[in-house]
Structure 1
């Protein structure tokens, strides 16, 4: 999910193929092909309860669930997206999402869900609220080559379901959110991104079930669903800063949010809605990005236009009361449109798709890659990855073309693409997300455990998937992010042993041999 500055693409604009869509882009770069991480011998599918890497690579545990951060805070549960901040390749800050709890049989010893009863007690919900959201951790590479948390660092910080967060944009203060300008907490934090002014995006994804569980539990205050499902902006370098939820980016099950610039300098943010029959979106700011303003550029996310993709017409349709008049038949304010983004998108003509998850931008040619994980209701069990090219290679354009870059299945060797990342030379890295209760069964028996795959986007191996990592039992690999020198790959190992029902007999014992513990790892070459 690495977001590289668009400057490289602008400098190499002459290498783009201006006549899309019938042929793939041709590349003629003088830079050497590949990175240290792209030079590996692919591994085979595995069902072992281990994190398996190619020969010559190793991993260290950087942070694990419940780990003491040294300032009274602890690392949260089910780590997902990671994002590295700082130019020093040996020391920096890492933002990490914490998505959900799931079955509490592992998380809370002695937990038992009674049929027809509340899924959580108030005490358990208090534990759950603290363990969701995200962590800022100060990390350093030691002389032994291992990455560890700098305990007690003033940067170590937790953002949880209890943290006050400001609303921005048209929904701020709107009746559709109950007239509030600030909400409490963030959770269901899946993937994210990095802004051009070095803050983190965190996408609130499957928030609906959590809101329902908590609101139905006696003794726990009910939540307003309209306060969740947004993209949250966090400043890891300022421990006293208040996060923001940007309503202009829409409210839905955000996988990630990736930022770039259009040709006139406007900020553009792409995002997918991770659910069956949902859409792909992009936001274009009204004003232009000015690097000298630094973090003040965050205000660009408060005014602009949110678009939804009409894949049949190959057009971006504005979800704006003034630009798409049919929206006025149902909505009175722009804030109301954004709170109800999914319904507004369908009304405007957005195309329902097969779980659009991660969206990333190619660092060489600026094309947009979109992971569609699957849609079993449509018989699409394996998913695919689209490659979208904006008209005139301009991210501000309202027209585009697209192709299916690669489809999942036995023929390609992977299934259910989820998180994406580009390395500096344009290789696409793909994490897979076969549901933990479906791995190694039925249509997914061929693929073994979930994994991480590298897929070149140029040369003779274009579109060929090569497996780099295999996850422990029932785990998902997520949140891949390269350190500035490309020598370390950070990655989350999420929900190992997710189908466990007995704390004394878990389905996974990764990483320490006792109970499964979600953890962030740092992968390096030996």
Structure 2
């Protein structure tokens, strides 16, 4: 990790863009078997080129206006056959959010909103850690819903808070990672820490169908890396590499951070995935070029594989546990999946080490035919892996026993072969190269160093694997956001797209429809980007409209009807599509397979997270993260970086005294009824 490349890069304008730039630096040393080369080998470069050149050839023969008219007519005909019944939204970029006609998209929760009866009202000019610990956190990402009554009209919203953007969060501060944190104080760091983690908030639906926060809900609470004590279980619990001066037994840790996507278990607990934990760790030990120096660390090899320390935050200046020179093992206690019981505030959250340590994007759950728990997970970085966990036992009516399923099971990494076969490789000590001779002295080492174990097994490096959404029939959909760092030289077998800014989606079909199977088949559902530009190499159903294609799939959901919904995260590169991020319905079956429709879009600079449907299908929760930040230099008429005082948008309040605020949006159908039916 070159700190100068990250903190000094003039092309990045805020913390979100800094994270994106950091993700551009691969940590995987072996890039010889990427998913791009596998895709190309399977489908063949000749066929790929046919798809890339088809649009250009048609335009040359018939002219661009004729092609556009034909596409519009075809898209209109496809809309009549689509399982997603709504009038498609027009794509674009502006200061606010938009939803398909006939739907309301109401703001339910904003950063700083009080969520407990005793919480102070939000005062953006006088923030404090104490207040933030009773208020809704920053940069809402994953959203889950746990019904509290049979009608589903009352429930608990479980929301992850991934990270903070100081430049639009604190008055007069400006961007800090680029300024070497000269403006940060312990007070501000503690506010940041309090704004991370998660929120449990009771909500209820009124007679008119609108949802509201139940502020006096007894289960409302915040979870943060500042003060929430968590247990550690599974094979790595108590291991010497998990022990610190504050926790010599290695069995409890304060807090969770960079919680991106997640999941809900069948027994009603919430899984919080810890993603880019490496960015929070610090060192004063620098080399001659001013770069972090880990050469004296006992775990230098492991730290380098996980890009530790990346020093995105100043936490290590004020909290010794985030300084690797003072507490080198603390980093091993992050990068896990955390289980929270929303209905029991007295129950400690638990980090389940059996699920492996990496940059977890999600933790979506399903069941095998024999009742075992299966959890799909992506390691969200370029050239990293897709994983799944299969429990030893089956889910039962015993909630306590169910949680123990997360402690005993097998973690697998995926290998995608050119012939379309899928192999799940077990990360089990003693299996193949996972031995002491190769640096894995125990199962704890295998799980703490899951990336290294997957390297050794020969898993397939992927293009930023994010959410993996399973369907009950043994199908799962893998969101691969992009990989601009795949070089043309890595296309030796017919890699479909080097330097891809647009990503793709892979469909998995597990053997015999069993999510616990160790073999299966895979295929490409869509290859993202503009199908009208031959060089992009996009592949969509030809009936997809100009508004329907998208780039950078990120979060996803399967609704009660088995339909796939995809949310996008283009980062600062939305200028390559001219579209803000949004939510799309993507067909997976029949003649419309690969057809997509735009349902919701974000304000400028925002990323769409969630999505989550209530069991009835009548409510959809969406999380709009970091509004007004990403790529605002490309917004016509604004064309500069956002700050607290001068943001590209003041969504959702549009109050001249308030900066943009990450918020949860609740979508309902006007007049009632299920979404998109």
Q: Give me the TM-score of the superposition, normalised by structure 1.
A: 0.89
**Distance of 2:264 and 2:85 partners within structure 1:** 26
Checking the alignment, whether the CA contact within 8 Å between 2:352 and 2:407 is kept in structure 1 is yes
Matches within 5 A, 1:472-483: 472-483=603-614
Give the paired residue count.
486
Distance 1:203 1:34 in 2: 34
Q: Of 583, 586, 592, which residue of structure 2 is paired with 1:455?
A: 586
User: What is the deviation of 1:51?
Assistant: 0.8
Report the 3-state secondary structure (helix = DSSP H, G, I; strand = E; otherwise coil) of the residue aligned with 1:172.
coil
Bigger mean CA deviation after superposition, 351-360 or 218-227: 218-227
Counterpart of 1:521 in structure 2 is 665
Q: Alpha carbons of 1:240 and 1:349: their partners in 2 closer, same or farther (altered >3 Å)?
A: same
Q: CA deviation at 1:447?
A: 4.1
Q: Deviations over 1:101-143 (max 9, x none)?
A: 03x1221112143734557321111001110100000001123
Contact 1:215–1:221 at 8 Å: present in 2 too?
A: no
> How much has 1:217 moved relative to structure 2?
4.1
Matched, 1:370 2:478: yes
Q: Supply the distance in 2 between the matched residues of 1:119 and 1:287 (Cα, whole angstroms).
A: 51
CA distance in 1, matches of 2:280, 2:480: 24
In the other structure, the counterpart of 2:319 is 220
Change (3 A) 1:295 1:326: closer
Are 1:275 and 2:381 counterparts? yes
Report the Cα distance in structure 1 between the residues aligned to 2:561 and 2:457, rounded to whole angstroms: 38
Listed as ranges, the matches of 1:388-427 within 5 Å are 388-411=508-531, 412=540, 413-427=549-563
Matched, 1:324 2:432: yes
Alpha-carbon contact 2:411-2:426 (below 8 Å) kept: yes
- Name which of 233, 245, 254 aligns with 2:351: 245
**Equivalent-residue separation in structure 2 for 1:325 and 1:343 (angstroms):** 11
* 2:457 maps to 1:348: yes
Q: Is 1:249–1:283's contact at 8 Å kept on the other side of the alignment?
A: yes
Partner in structure 1 of residue 146 of structure 2: 85
> Alignment partner for residue 297 of structure 1, among 382, 402, 424?
402
Partner of 2:288: none
Q: Secondary structure at the match of 2:591?
A: coil
2:97 and 2:351 mapped to 1: Cα distance?
35
2: distance between equivalents of 1:116 and 1:60?
38
Is 292-301 or 208-217 further displaced after alignment?
208-217
| TM-score, with structure 2 as normaliser | 0.69
Structure 1 residues 255-264 or 112-121, which shifts more?
Answer: 112-121
**Which residue pairs with 1:158 in the alignment?**
222
- Which one has a bigger Cα radius of gyration? 2
**Alignment pair present for 1:120 and 2:256:** no
Q: Could you say what secondary structure the match of 1:232 adopts? A: strand
1:489 to 603, 607, 620: 620
Counterparts of 2:261 and 2:412 in 1: how far apart (Å)? 20
Say whether the 8 Å CA contact 1:190–1:203 is kept in structure 2: yes
The equivalent of 1:468 in structure 2 is 599
Quote the Cα distance in structure 2 between the aligned partners of 1:348 and 1:118: 44
- Contact 1:321 1:334 (C-alpha < 8 Å) held by counterparts: yes
After TM superposition, give the deviation of residue 216 of structure 1 in Å.
6.4
Q: What SS does the corresponding residue of 1:439 show, helix, strand or coil?
A: helix
Kept in 2, the 8 Å contact 1:371–1:385? The answer is: yes
Q: Give secondary structure in 1 for the equivalent of 2:398.
A: helix
- SS of the residue 2:99 aligns to: coil
More strand by share: 1
Contact 2:206 2:212 in 1 (8 A): yes
**Matched residue SS, 1:144:** coil
- CA distance change for structure 1 residues 116 and 258 in 2, over 3 Å: closer, same or farther? closer
Q: Name structure 2 gaps, 5 residues minimum.
A: 1-41, 44-80, 120-133, 244-248, 283-310, 323-329, 487-498, 532-539, 541-548, 631-640, 671-677
Deviations 1:419-451 (A, max 9, x none): 01111112210001001x2222xxx2x341111
Distance 2:275 2:507 in 1: 23
Q: Kindly state the Cα deviation for residue 349 of structure 1 after the two structures are TM-superposed.
A: 1.1
Question: CA contact under 8 A between 2:172 and 2:645: conserved in structure 1?
Answer: no
CA contact (8 A) 2:173 2:183 kept: no
Distance in 1 of aligned mates of 2:435 and 2:193: 36
CA distance in structure 1 between the partners assigned to 2:333 and 2:184 by the alignment: 21
2:196 matched residue in structure 1: 132
Q: Using the alignment, how far apart are the partners of 1:285 and 1:118 within structure 2?
A: 47
Instruction: Please say if residues 433 and 456 of structure 2, whose CA atoms lie closer than 8 Å, have aligned partners that are also in contact.
Output: no
Partner residue, 1:108: 170
Structure number with the higher helix fraction is: 2
The answer as to whether partners of 1:77 and 1:518 remain within 8 angstroms in 2 is: yes
In 2, the alpha carbon distance for the partners of 1:292 and 1:438 equals: 47
Q: Distance in 2 between matches of 1:53 and 1:505?
A: 26
